Amino acid sequence: MNPFELKPMEMENCFKERKDLYGYSYDKYSADPYSKLRIILMNGTEFEEVYFGHNAMRNEARGDLRRDLALLRRSEQMQQKQIACLKPISESVLENTIAYEQLAVDLTALMASREQNLYVKHCLDFALLEDFDHLYRYADLMNMETGEKAEDLVGGYTEIMPGRPTIAEHRHPYDDVKRPISAKQDSLLTKLQVNIITAAEQQTMNYYMNQCGFYKSDLGRRLYQEIAMIEEQHVSQYGSLIDPVCSPLEKLLMHEYTEAYLYYSAYETETDAKLKRVWEEFFEQEVAHLHFAAELLKKYDGKEYQEVIPKADFPELLALSEQKEYVRGVLKNTVNETAMREDFSRLDALSDTFDFFSYQKRVNGNDAGIASHEVIEKHIKELGEDYRYQLKEHPVSELRKRDEDNVRVGRVKSKVAAK
Ligand SMILES: [Fe+2]
Ligand SMILES: [Fe+2]
Ligand SMILES: [Fe+2]
Ligand SMILES: [Fe+2]
């Protein structure tokens, strides 16, 4: 499928009557979890388009181009509004949060498992274990506060157990900034994956930024606050991978291509017939956006789209699927890693003066009052053990105990931890 070879609809025809933006939402009990995840992913993708479009306009002096960007942005906004309300009224913030973290786990693992740029793969594997841990902490909050079991929401696709403990994820800001990929040298799939994961993590970051003040308990609000800070780190990591050398209109073209790829992937893999129709319609709109972006690139930069995307056939589509064994392997091999500037390091290899340790001390203090730890401790106190959906023994021996929350893994050097 090469979206440049399709005949695009008129841009103005992307605008829909208001009543057509609202109607269907999925049934939270019977929907396939991956349908929910696709909605979150596409919602995040549209958020990214909208903010990219606003920033592009603010950095642009030419009135015609500013108006063209406004035209495009209006259509992205309409798509986002319709997608936002595909989620049913009855789904709570915390239930929705479980889907956000499930997406972070299964999307990241899928992309890491097929990523050819080993540095990008390492970045994906690294953050994967952190979102995996977030899923566990939120699931325990849910089980304790409402009695609900998150396994009923993740549909058996994703295990729920400790990853790199959230308390160990707080790192100095300098250690989130990575080396950018090269738009000229890296593959189309690598460029797509970096764009996709940046938008997805940014959506999670935005969601927690907004929701942390609305959650109904103090412990929950503190947990959202804490995990939101890690999502800031993840967005810094992934955003820093994007090639900074491309012009704004080259970036715009790649954004529209990414959207077209994602909607086409969603259309091909969706099992809910009504959602499938939405993805199909939006794919057609994105083809119009993409052709429009190519025209802008030619008109204002004097460049052909082939200079940015020489071979425009979609690479292997994005089909969400179970990643349990992949996640277990990454857990087993890298749970004790942390970030060290643009690279990664086993915790034991760091000098005691490295700023990871001083930052940890500054933000975590003496561990008491750290929500991600407290939520598990409280669950154990009230219900005898933590909540997990674990299908076999945890691959990391230190994370097997169900009646004690380990706050040393990935955070305290083994010679110190053993004392
Ligand atoms: Fe869009
Ligand atoms: Fe997360
Ligand atoms: Fe994340
Ligand atoms: Fe678009």
Q: Which residues are in the CB-under-5-Å shell of ion ligand 4? A: 256, 259, 286, 289
With H, G, I as helix, E, B as strand and everything else as coil, classify residue 389: strand
User: What's the CA-to-centroid distance between 155 and ligand 1, angstroms?
Assistant: 28
Q: Which residues are in the CB-under-5-Å shell of ion ligand 3? A: 104, 131, 201, 231, 234
- Residues 104-161 pLDDT 10s: 999 999 999 999 999 999 999 999 999 999 999 999 999 999 999 999 999 999 999 9
**Which residue in the block uniquely carries the two structure tokens 């292997």?**
316
- Residues 286-315 pLDDT 10s: 999 999 999 999 999 999 999 999 999 999
CA distance 239 to 79: 23
Nearest ligand to the CA atom of 237: 3
User: What's the CA-to-centroid distance between 287 and ligand 4, angstroms?
Assistant: 8
Local confidence band at 415 (pLDDT 50, 70, 90 cut-offs): confident
User: What's the CA-to-centroid distance between 238 and ligand 4, angstroms?
Assistant: 21
Local confidence band at 47 (pLDDT 50, 70, 90 cut-offs): very high
User: What's the CA-to-centroid distance between 198 and ligand 3, angstroms?
Assistant: 10
User: What's the CA-to-centroid distance between 43 and ligand 4, angstroms?
Assistant: 12
Average pLDDT value for residue range 243-261: 97
User: What's the CA-to-centroid distance between 284 and ligand 4, angstroms?
Assistant: 10
Cβ-contact 298, 246 below 8 angstroms = no
CA distance 101 to 96: 9
Q: Does 418 score more than 70 pLDDT?
A: no
User: What's the CA-to-centroid distance between 232 and ligand 3, angstroms?
Assistant: 8
Does the domain at 3-325 match CATH 1.10.10.10? Answer given as no
Average pLDDT value for residue range 177-196: 97
What's the pLDDT at 368? 78
CA distance 327 to 335: 11
Q: Does 419 score more than 70 pLDDT?
A: no
Q: Does 358 score more than 70 pLDDT?
A: yes
User: What's the CA-to-centroid distance between 58 and ligand 4, angstroms?
Assistant: 18
Local confidence band at 341 (pLDDT 50, 70, 90 cut-offs): very high
Q: Does 208 score more than 70 pLDDT?
A: yes
- The rounded percent of the chain whose pLDDT value lies above 90 is 97
Nearest ligand to the CA atom of 79: 1
User: What's the CA-to-centroid distance between 52 and ligand 2, angstroms?
Assistant: 22
For the whole model, what pTM was predicted?
A: 0.98
**Which residue in the block uniquely carries the two structure tokens 């050097």?**
413
Average pLDDT value for residue range 360-379: 93
What's the pLDDT at 238? 98
User: What's the CA-to-centroid distance between 52 and ligand 4, angstroms?
Assistant: 11
Measured in Å, how far apart are the chain's first and last C-alpha atoms?
59
User: What's the CA-to-centroid distance between 10 and ligand 4, angstroms?
Assistant: 13
User: What's the CA-to-centroid distance between 165 and ligand 2, angstroms?
Assistant: 12
Q: Does 33 score more than 60 pLDDT?
A: yes
Angle, to 10 degrees, between the axis of helix 248-269 and the axis of helix 188-211? 90
What's the pLDDT at 417? 57
User: What's the CA-to-centroid distance between 117 and ligand 4, angstroms?
Assistant: 26
User: What's the CA-to-centroid distance between 8 and ligand 1, angstroms?
Assistant: 14
What's the pLDDT at 366? 81
What's the pLDDT at 367? 79
Average pLDDT value for residue range 78-86: 98
pLDDT averaged over every residue in the chain: 97
Nearest ligand to the CA atom of 53: 4
- The rounded percent of the chain whose pLDDT value lies above 70 is 99
Average pLDDT value for residue range 9-18: 96
